[in-house]
Amino acid sequence: MSAAAFDEAAARSFVERWVAAQNAHDFAAYSSLYAQHFAGTKRVGTYSKRFERAAWLADRRPMFVDGVVVRASDLELSGSPGAVRAVFTQDFVAPGFHDTGKKELFLLAQPSGFAISREEMLASNLADAPPAADNAVLAVHRDGVVLQRGIPSAGLGAPRLLPRSKNDTFDVAAPIPESAVNVVTRAWLGRTVTVYAKDGKACESTVQRLEVRVKSEPHFGMRQAWDGEGGAPKSPPSEIAVQIWKTARDDERFVVGVLAKECPGVWAVTRPSAFVVAQAPAPQARAAAVAAFKRLPAYRELQVRFARDNPGSAPTTPWETVDGDLQVVEVRSAPDSSLMIVAARGGVSCGGFMGNLSAIWSVRGAEPAFQFTARGVFKDANAPLVVHGAIDQNSDGSLELLAGPDDFGDQISVLRGAADGYARKVLLSTALWDCGC
């Protein structure tokens, strides 16, 4: 390699890392690739806008979601040891959006390796966009569906406190222009969704407008001040809204697609699907599921920890029977097969033992020859799974489990099956600023 040559292998590897970070939805890894002194030009069709580093990353962050795929091909490299120019064809696909075109990165050589000092989409050729996330499961918040989680507060309208009863969370909303959200979120406007309640009751409505919200459980000190304790005047709703809005982190804000007709429910999908309500299993099946649950290594680990933290208890006392409970539900996918979900928690007092554990099995056969196949174990999550039902969006028996919001954080989740078991995706949860004790 001559003195004037650049390290082509290192530059090529850097571009591959840049692509991989986006496809892995790893925003931290993606951000680390950009130099502190950076300028970028975004181009979508005929629209273009220039950004500095902080604004560029804020604009890009909402794109780190399921369904986004980035491909780079025909890479050409040129330059010197100090700076390398990378030009390639980028193919960018997201729910509701697809474009291709030439992209240019300028890679600045630094002691720690390359960093991107300039980026520009040289040409954006918009393809026919696929419909927005046909297989999406969305959380419902009040009168709308949660479309995007994590958004900065800059450029939004004044927040307002939404109506609440005594024991409700403190929910705040602010208007947001369509231009302030990404194309994936905008593609939901005008789409019809089907909303499901816990009992499977369905309701259809259409996404008509967007707004940003925060769902919070404020610290008791904040609530005391708002109530005028200590002799201070009570805070008006407008002041409470501003304080909640300023306290919330960007990742605690979410975009809601407000529906044309309010539909009471917890989850929503883009097309009607068969809803299977979770039910209590027959006694023999329940006993078999509990026995399988207590054979799990994770269950035994919690039992050891419980005994260590509670030396006065009997060695045979199950950990979930002390200030806790154990629930078993069944979701039947066919006459001879079902999914069995066991969820337990124990030790709700602070300063002592606390644990929770959930597990999912595929079950075939009948008593006494039940065949249990493990499909997922969820150890020491924020809360045990509370599954209310499932939907079969593909009409092929591949059930997606719908869980929540029955725990301290009001988590609404969907669990999707794969070859190696079920994985849980939290769709919405309360921002907890108070202690749980």
CB contact at 8 A, 54 and 36? no
Residue 196 falls inside a structural domain: yes
Residue 3 falls inside a structural domain: no
Residue 363 falls inside a structural domain: yes
Residues 65, 167, single domain; the answer is no
- What is the count of structural domains for the chain? 3
Domain boundary among 209, 240, 272: 272
Query: At a CB cut-off of 8 Å and minimum separation 6, what does 152 contact?
Result: 58, 250, 253
Express each pLDDT in 285-299 by its tens digit: 999 999 999 999 999
| Structural domain boundaries enclosing 101 | 8-126
Domain boundary among 272, 300, 323: 272
Residues 255, 282, single domain; the answer is no
The model's confidence at residue 1, banded by pLDDT at 50, 70 and 90, is very low
Residue 217 falls inside a structural domain: yes
Express each pLDDT in 42-62 by its tens digit: 988 777 889 999 999 998 988
Domain holding 47: CATH number? 3.10.450.50
131-155 mean pLDDT: 85
Q: Which of 83-87, 88-92, 407-411 has the lowest mean pLDDT?
A: 407-411
Bridge-based pairing state of the strands 69-80 and 192-196 = unpaired
Of 261 and 153, more confident: 261
Residue 1 falls inside a structural domain: no
Domain boundary among 242, 272, 302: 272
Residues 393, 320, single domain; the answer is yes
Backbone angles phi, psi at 436, to 5 degrees: -85, 5
Residues 68, 141, single domain; the answer is no
Residues 80, 220, single domain; the answer is no
pTM of the predicted model as reported, rounded to 2 decimal places: 0.71
Residue 131 falls inside a structural domain: no
Residues 294, 421, single domain; the answer is yes
Residue 38 falls inside a structural domain: yes
pLDDT value at 245 more than 70:
yes
Express each pLDDT in 149-177 by its tens digit: 888 887 788 999 999 998 899 999 999 98
Q: Which of 89-93, 115-119, 326-330 has the lowest mean pLDDT?
A: 89-93
- Other C-beta atoms closer than 10 Å to the C-beta of 276 total 20
Residue 437 falls inside a structural domain: no
pLDDT value of position 135? 77
pLDDT value of position 2? 44
Residues 426, 282, single domain; the answer is yes
Residues 104, 147, single domain; the answer is no
Bridge-based pairing state of the strands 412-418 and 400-403 = antiparallel
